[in-house]
Homo-oligomer: A and B are copies of this chain.
Amino acid sequence: MDPRIREHAAVIVDWSARIEPGDRVLMQVDEGSIPLGIAVAEEVATREASLVTTFGSGEIERAYLKHFPTTDFPVDPEHHLALLEQSDVFLRLRGGTNTSAMADVPTELQQAASIATSGIREARMATDWVSTIHPTPSLAQQASMATEEYRDFAYEAILYDWEALAEEMAQLKNRLDEGETVRIETETTELTMQIDGCTAVNSAASVAYDSHNLPSGEVFTAPYGTEGTVTFDIPMTINSKPVRDVRLEFEDGVVVDATAAEGLDVIEGVLETDAGAKRLGELGIGMNRAIDRYTNNILFDEKMGGTFHLALGRAYDSCLPEGETGNKSAVHVDLLANFGEGSTMTIDDEVVQSDGRFVWET
A residues at B contact (CB < 8 Å) = 22, 24, 26, 29, 31, 34, 37-39, 41-46, 48-55, 57, 59-61, 63-70, 74, 77-87
CB distance from A216 to the nearest CB of B (A): 26
List the B residue with the shortest CB-CB distance to A76.
B50
Selected A-B contacts with CB under 8 Å, 6 pairs: A29-B60, A31-B34, A45-B67, A48-B69, A50-B80, A79-B86
List the B residue with the shortest CB-CB distance to A63.
B41
> 9 more A-B contacts (CB under 8 A) besides A31-B31, A52-B79?
A34-B60, A37-B60, A38-B59, A42-B64, A48-B70, A78-B86, A82-B82, A82-B83, A82-B86
Task: Give A37 to B31 CA distance when docked, in angstroms.
Answer: 12
Task: Give A352 to B281 CA distance when docked, in angstroms.
Answer: 79
Q: Knowing A24-B79, A55-B29, A55-B55, say if A50 contacts B74 (CB, 8 Å).
A: yes
CB distance from A93 to the nearest CB of B (A): 11
Task: Give A57 to B85 CA distance when docked, in angstroms.
Answer: 24
Q: Is the interface of A mostly helix, strand, loop or mixed?
A: helix
Cβ of A84: which chain B residues have Cβ within 8 Å of it?
79
Task: Give A74 to B86 CA distance when docked, in angstroms.
Answer: 14
Task: Give A48 to B75 CA distance when docked, in angstroms.
Answer: 12
CB distance from A38 to the nearest CB of B (A): 5
Contact between A50 and B37, CB atoms less than 8 A apart: no
Contact with A63, one of B26, B42, B79, B82 (Cβ below 8 angstroms): B42
Cβ of A81: which chain B residues have Cβ within 8 Å of it?
86
Task: Give A24 to B57 CA distance when docked, in angstroms.
Answer: 19
List the B residue with the shortest CB-CB distance to A85.
B82
Contact between B65 and A45, CB atoms less than 8 A apart: yes
Task: Give A86 to B79 CA distance when docked, in angstroms.
Answer: 5
Cβ of A69: which chain B residues have Cβ within 8 Å of it?
45-46, 48
Cβ of A70: which chain B residues have Cβ within 8 Å of it?
48
Contact between B86 and A67, CB atoms less than 8 A apart: no
Task: Give A38 to B60 CA distance when docked, in angstroms.
Answer: 5
Task: Give A68 to B70 CA distance when docked, in angstroms.
Answer: 45
CB distance from A345 to the nearest CB of B (A): 44
What are the 6 A-B residue pairs with the smallest beta carbon separation, nearest first?
A: A50-B77, A79-B86, A82-B82, A50-B74, A45-B67, A41-B63
Q: Knowing A82-B82, A86-B79, A86-B82, say if A64 contacts B44 (CB, 8 Å).
A: yes
Contact between A60 and B41, CB atoms less than 8 A apart: yes
Q: Which of A31, A39, A53, A85 has the most CB of B within 10 A?
A: A53
